[in-house]
Amino acid sequence: MELNAVNYLAVVTMEGIHLEELSPMDYYPLSGESEEIEKFVVKHVNETTKNVNFLFSGISGMGKTRTVKNIAHQLGWPVIFIT
């Protein structure tokens, strides 16, 4: 299955798991450490031909989700949220 570069939510029901499209991805300028992380990840992905993985962790409100959305927007990747 090919996904468009939008936000999706993984929904679990009695019938199984499916993806719900949430919203188009917009780019919101970041500052500080989040901006530096965004630049690093995009540069790294664009410079490699290998698969890459990144794990974002931290306390609520630090900008993890916004950073991931911005990275995905720049790279044209879909984002799947699992809650």
Cα separation, 44 vs 57, whole angstroms: 19
pTM: 0.72
Question: Of all helices (H) and strands (E), which one includes residue 21?
Answer: strand 16-24
Q: What percent of the chain has pLDDT over 90?
A: 12
Q: Does residue 79 carry a pLDDT above 80? A: yes
Q: What percent of the chain has pLDDT over 70?
A: 94
Ranges of each domain in the chain: 6-81
